[in-house]
Amino acid sequence: MRVTSLCSSSKANSTYIEHEGQGILVDMGCSYKMLKDGLAKIDRSVENISAVFITHEHSDHIAGLMQLTKNTEIPVYASEGTLMRIVGEKKVFSEKNLHTTAELSSVPLNFSVNAFHTPHDSAESMGYTFDTGSVRAAVCTDIGHITEEVRKNLLGCRFVLLESNYDPMMLIRNIKYPPVLKERIRSNRGHLSNPDSGVFARELINSGTVSLLLGHLSQENNTPETAYNNMVSSLLAVGAQVNRDYALDIAEVNGNARRIIV
């Protein structure tokens, strides 16, 4: 399985995952042009995408969905609550290829897909796991806290794209953010902080995770270096050493088009 983060931040998110020549997309928060350009960097095209899986309806996850559904007939899957918002807000060109996550067992892929609920201030936010039979991978961002459902689905995954959204002190000191927004971000239905991400990663490593990709970093309240160093320190505290016990990467704002082999 190969994973490529095409874009990841508080402004745009999209991840391409491929197994034995068959690809899927998690979220379409970038523009259609950015999607095509990102795929071209890894010698792929939109034609390689067999399905799209949407986590929730916020613009940084569906901004390019209108153009994608206008230019292709790729099936799009999301929770019922998310689909209702997408259709109600007219975020798609056509509804004919929209499907609920209840239909995941019928997706024509050479690997299985599972959806699970995540705690976020949206209609019905989801995370996804992908299982080839020998390797299980997960994409899980926009999580205010680690619920038992999140924990159950992520533990044991070989690869996890995990949110590490903000540094608490940077958020506190950010004078551009009003108190109500800061509280939303810190809430149980907001985003996962660097420290909380680091603590949960200890459980992941102990369960068999060997590759972590930190994503959905805030451009206002975090830096790649801060997120990376926090994770390394957190895992080192329990004896896990980067590049020995696990691999660690940061999903860049515009993607680095470097495929992670899982």
pLDDT digits (tens, 9 = 90+) for 215-234: 999 999 999 999 999 999 99
Residue in the structure block whose two tokens are 């270096």: 225
144-188 pLDDT per residue, tens: 999 999 999 999 999 999 999 999 999 999 999 999 999 999 999
Report residue 252's pLDDT band, with 50, 70 and 90 as the boundaries.
confident
43-68 pLDDT per residue, tens: 999 999 999 999 999 999 999 999 99
pTM summary value = 0.96
User: Do residues 86 and 97 lie in contact, with contact meaning Cβ atoms separated by under 8 Å?
Assistant: no
Please spell the DSSP secondary structure of 36-65, one letter per residue: HHHHHTTT--GGGEEEEE----SHHHHTTH
- β strands within the chain, DSSP E: 2-8, 13-19, 22-26, 49-53, 76-78, 98-100, 112-117, 126-131, 136-140, 159-163, 211-215, 247-250, 260-261
103-160 pLDDT per residue, tens: 998 898 999 999 999 999 999 999 999 999 999 999 999 999 999 999 999 999 999 9
pLDDT for res 253? 84
For residue 259, pLDDT beyond 90: no
pLDDT for res 258? 63
Q: At what angle do helices 194-207 and 224-236 cross, to 10 degrees?
A: 50
Cα–Cα distances in Å, from 121 out to 16, 125, 168? Answer: 25, 8, 19
Rounded to the nearest angstrom, the gap between the alpha carbon of residue 19 and the centroid of all alpha carbons in its chain is 17
Report residue 254's pLDDT band, with 50, 70 and 90 as the boundaries.
confident
pLDDT for res 119? 98
Query: 133 or 256: which carries more pLDDT confidence?
Result: 133
Rounded Cα gap, residues 26 and 61, in angstroms: 9
CB-based burial of residue 125 (10 Å sphere; 0-12 exposed, 13-18 middle, 19+ buried)?
A: buried
Rounded Cα gap, residues 105 and 108, in angstroms: 8
pLDDT for res 256? 67
The pLDDT mean for the chain works out to 96
For residue 257, pLDDT beyond 60: no
- Compute the C-alpha angle 193/200/197, nearest 5°: 20
| Nearest residue to 25 (alpha-carbon basis) of 88, 75, 93 | 75
| Nearest residue to 17 (alpha-carbon basis) of 236, 222, 259, 195 | 259
CATH superfamily for 2-261 is Ribonuclease Z/Hydroxyacylglutathione hydrolase-like (3.60.15.10)
